[in-house]
C-alpha cells in the first residue's frame, strides 16, 4: 500500500515539473522574441485556452496584434499549420480601436493527433518602419503537452458502438413533398389535357367500302337503278346523278381512284394513270358528258339515250372488272 502511494506521488510531482518546464520555456521564448524584435508601437501575442490537451481535441489559439493608429501592419496568411499544430479553421480578422491603439485579433482552431510536445508560433508579422522599409516582428511561442487517453487494460476490449438512430423530422422531407406535389399537379394537368383533346379530336370516318367485289356491287346498283325507272317518271336529272355516282364509286372501289368529287375534265386528265383500254374510256366519258349536259345545261335526251347510258356503264364495268370466279354472281344479278 505504501509503494502505491509513493508511486502516485512520483507521478504527480513529475507532471507538475513538466508543466513548470513548459511554462518556463514559453516565457523564455517570448522574452527572446520580444528582445530580438522589439517595437514599442507593436505588440504581438499568442494566447491559448489551455496548454494541456488530449490527442485530437481542438483548442482555440488567438493571435493579437496591437499597434498605433497609422502604423501599417500585415498579418500572415492562414496556413495548414501553426507551428507544429495542425490548423482546422481560422476566423477573420477582428478589429477594435481604443484611443490611439488598434488591436487586430485572429482566432485559430488547432489540434494534434499524436502524443508529445507541440508548439505554436512564433508568428511573423510585417510592418512599415519609421524609415518606410518593411520590418518584421514575432509573437511569443506556446508549448502544448498532448496526451493520450488512459486505457484500463484490466477491462475487455469493447466493440465499436453502432450508429445512433436519429428520429426523422418532417422538415427533412420538404423537398420530396414539394416535388411529389408538383408531379401530381403535372399528372392531373396532363390527364385533363388528354381528355380535352380526345373529346375535341375530329372523328375521321372511314369511307364506305362494300363487302362485295367492285364489279359485283356495281351490277347490283345498276340493277336497282333500272328497276326504279326514274327517267320514265320524268326524274331525268336524278337518274343521271345516280348513274354517274355509281360509275364514280366503281372507279374508287376498283382502282382506288377518288373521283367522286372530280369533274369530267379532271377525270380525263387523270385516266392515263389507270389501266383502262380506249374502248372502256370512250364508254365512260360518253356517259359522263351526257350527264353533264343534263345536270348543268338542262338538256333532255331522247329515251334511247337514257337506256344507252345505262348500257355504257354496264359494259364499262364488265370490261374493267377484276374477275376471279364470278359466274354465279353474274348470273344471279342478271
Q: Supply the pLDDT for residue 324.
A: 62
Looking at every residue in the chain, the average pLDDT score rounds to 82
For residue 69, give the C-alpha cell.
Answer: 493608429
Query: Of all residues in the chain, what percent carry a pLDDT higher than 90?
Result: 39
The pLDDT, as a whole number, for residue 81 is 92
* Confidence grade of residue 2 (pLDDT, cut at 50, 70, 90): very low
SS3 285: helix
CA dist 123 and 45 (Å) reads 9
Full DSSP string of 167-202: PP-GGGGHHHHHHHHHHHHHHHHHHHHHHHHHHHSP
Grid cell listed for 233:
317518271
Asked whether the predicted pLDDT for residue 46 surpasses 90, the reply is yes
d(CA 157, CA 30): 45
Local structure of 278: helix, strand or coil: helix
Q: In the predicted model, is pLDDT for residue 149 greater than 60? A: yes
Average pLDDT (303-320) is 91
The pLDDT of residue 122 is 93
C-alpha cell at 20: 513548470
Q: Supply the pTM of this predicted model.
A: 0.40
Which pLDDT score is estimated for 21? Answer: 54
pLDDT of residue 197: 82
CB 313 within 8 A of CB 287: yes
Best CA proximity match to 118, nearest among 141, 90, 89: 141
Mean pLDDT of 320-331: 59
178-187, long-range: CB < 8 A, 24+ apart: none
Rounded Cα distance, 50 and 61, in Å:
9
The residue-averaged pLDDT of 202-223 equals: 81
SS3 call for 116: strand
To 10 degrees, what angle do helices 236-255 and 303-320 make?
Answer: 10
| pLDDT tens, residue by residue, 231-279 | 889 899 999 999 999 999 989 888 888 878 888 899 889 888 988 999 9
The answer to whether residue 133 scores a pLDDT higher than 90 is no
- Give CA–CA dist 100/68, Å, rounded: 6
Give the pLDDT score at 121.
87
- Banded pLDDT at 326 (limits 50, 70, 90): very low
Q: pLDDT-derived band of residue 202, with 50, 70 and 90 as boundaries?
A: low
110 burial type by CB count under 10 A (0-12 exposed, 13-18 middle, 19+ buried): buried
pLDDT of residue 167: 86
Q: Give first-to-last CA distance, the chain, whole Å.
A: 139
pLDDT value of residue 116? 92
* pLDDT higher than 70, residue 125: yes
Grid cell 481542438 is found at 58
CA 196 to CA 296: how far, in whole Å? 45
Residue 205: what pLDDT?
62
Quote the pLDDT of residue 140: 94
Q: Is the Cβ–Cβ distance between 106 and 89 less than 8 Å?
A: no
Amino acid at each position: 500500500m505504501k509503494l502505491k502511494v509513493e508511486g502516485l506521488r512520483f507521478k504527480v510531482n513529475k507532471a507538475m515539473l513538466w508543466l513548470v518546464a513548459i511554462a518556463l520555456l514559453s516565457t523564455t521564448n517570448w522574452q527572446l522574441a520580444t528582445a530580438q524584435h522589439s517595437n514599442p508601437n507593436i505588440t504581438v501575442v499568442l494566447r491559448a485556452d489551455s496548454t494541456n490537451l488530449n490527442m485530437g481535441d481542438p483548442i482555440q489559439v488567438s493571435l493579437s496584434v496591437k499597434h498605433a493608429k497609422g502604423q501599417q501592419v500585415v498579418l500572415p496568411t492562414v496556413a495548414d499549420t501553426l507551428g507544429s499544430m495542425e490548423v482546422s479553421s481560422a476566423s477573420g480578422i477582428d478589429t477594435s480601436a481604443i484611443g490611439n491603439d488598434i488591436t487586430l485579433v485572429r482566432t485559430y482552431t488547432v489540434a494534434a493527433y499524436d502524443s508529445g510536445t507541440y508548439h505554436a508560433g512564433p508568428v511573423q508579422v510585417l510592418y512599415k518602419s519609421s524609415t518606410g522599409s518593411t520590418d518584421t516582428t514575432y509573437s511569443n511561442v506556446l508549448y502544448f503537452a498532448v496526451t493520450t487517453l488512459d486505457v484500463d487494460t484490466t477491462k475487455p476490449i469493447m466493440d465499436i458502438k453502432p450508429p445512433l438512430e436519429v428520429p426523422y423530422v418532417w422538415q427533412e422531407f420538404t423537398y420530396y413533398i414539394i416535388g411529389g406535389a408538383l408531379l401530381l399537379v403535372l399528372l392531373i394537368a396532363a390527364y385533363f389535357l388528354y381528355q380535352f383533346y380526345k373529346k375535341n379530336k375530329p372523328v375521321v370516318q372511314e369511307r364506305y367500302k362494300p363487302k362485295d367485289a367492285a364489279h359485283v356491287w356495281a351490277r347490283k346498283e345498276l340493277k336497282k337503278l333500272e328497276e326504279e325507272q326514274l327517267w320514265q317518271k320524268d326524274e331525268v336529272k336524278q337518274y343521271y346523278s345516280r348513274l354517274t355516282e355509281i360509275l364514280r364509286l366503281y372507279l374508287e372501289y376498283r382502282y382506288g381512284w377518288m373521283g367522286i368529287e372530280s369533274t369530267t375534265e379532271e377525270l380525263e386528265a387523270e385516266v392515263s394513270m389507270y389501266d383502262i383500254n380506249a374502248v372502256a374510256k370512250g364508254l365512260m366519258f360518253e356517259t359522263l358528258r351526257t350527264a353533264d349536259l343534263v345536270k348543268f345545261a338542262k338538256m333532255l335526251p331522247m329515251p334511247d339515250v337514257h337506256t344507252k347510258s345505262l348500257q355504257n356503264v354496264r359494259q364499262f364495268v364488265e370490261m374493267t372488272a377484276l374477275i376471279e370466279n364470278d359466274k354465279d354472281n353474274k348470273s344471279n344479278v342478271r
